[in-house]
Amino acid sequence: MTFQDIFKSSFLEKAVEFSLLDVFVAMALSFAVGLFIFVVYKKTFAGVMYSASFGVSLMAMTLVTTLIILAVTSNIVLSLGMVGALSIVRFRTAVKEPLDIAFLFWSISVGIVIGAGLLPLAVVGSLFIGIILMIFINKKSTDTPYIIILNIDNDKSEEDAVSLIRSKTKKALVKSKTVSRHGIELTVEVRLIDMSAKLINELLSVNGVNNATLVSYNGDYAA
């Protein structure tokens, strides 16, 4: 063993062996696809409050995942250590929208595929997923559900109001009913005919109906 062998660095040898061109190509493509995911998320967002930071995190997650997979595929020993290290990571941020989970998995999957070197699969698969999401999420439904909230004096007024609602809507379903000493509060899910809100005006003409409110509803559809 010579003096030079003692100070020989395996770390520097790995750095020399690693292809910077491969890293640049993978990270550049990962950035492009991550940006595409960010744009699709922004265009298809249908929640209450849009979070720009979540959109940027999707792009960052694609880049980070690609970097990890590049490291893992270059060294088997490192891949085993990486699995153990990543297993202790825990995310505490609550996901508010169900579709956000799909975007998170999309970003991670693209990072894995690009890091593994399957570049055409990452591009074609992302384009296909993006088109499908754009078509189905942005599809406007003419059968929008609404909630009617009524403040009623007595049972007879309730029967008359419900009969009027059923005759003037495509579908009506009582969601909740609250009875107190001051009267009845009734919540009904409806499908309006021709998206006309004139029904609310007609409900006020029913004897015993003190107040009527129409609210757009984005929850589960009535069966």
> What are 166-213's pLDDT values in tens digits?
888 888 888 888 888 888 898 888 888 776 678 888 888 888 888 888
Mean pLDDT of the chain: 78
What pLDDT score does 143 carry?
65
| Of residues 3, 46, 203, 32, the one with CA closest to residue 123 | 32
Sequence length of the chain is: 223
**pLDDT(16) > 60:** no
Structure tokens given for 147: 């909630």
Q: Are 110 and 59 in contact (CB under 8 A)?
A: no
What pLDDT score does 223 carry?
41
Query: For residue 96, what pLDDT band results from cuts at 50, 70 and 90?
Result: low
Q: What is the dihedral of CA 27, 32, 35, 41, to 10 degrees?
A: -110
What pLDDT score does 174 carry?
86
What pLDDT score does 222 carry?
41
pTM: 0.59
What pLDDT score does 200 carry?
83
**pLDDT(124) > 90:** yes
For the ranges 12-21, 83-92, 204-213, the lowest mean pLDDT is seen at 83-92
Query: For residue 37, what pLDDT band results from cuts at 50, 70 and 90?
Result: very high
Q: For 126-137, how does the pLDDT look when each residue is reduced to its tens digit (9 = 90+)?
A: 999 999 988 887
Q: Would you call 39 exposed, middle or buried from its count of C-beta atoms within 10 A (0-12, 13-18, 19+)?
A: middle
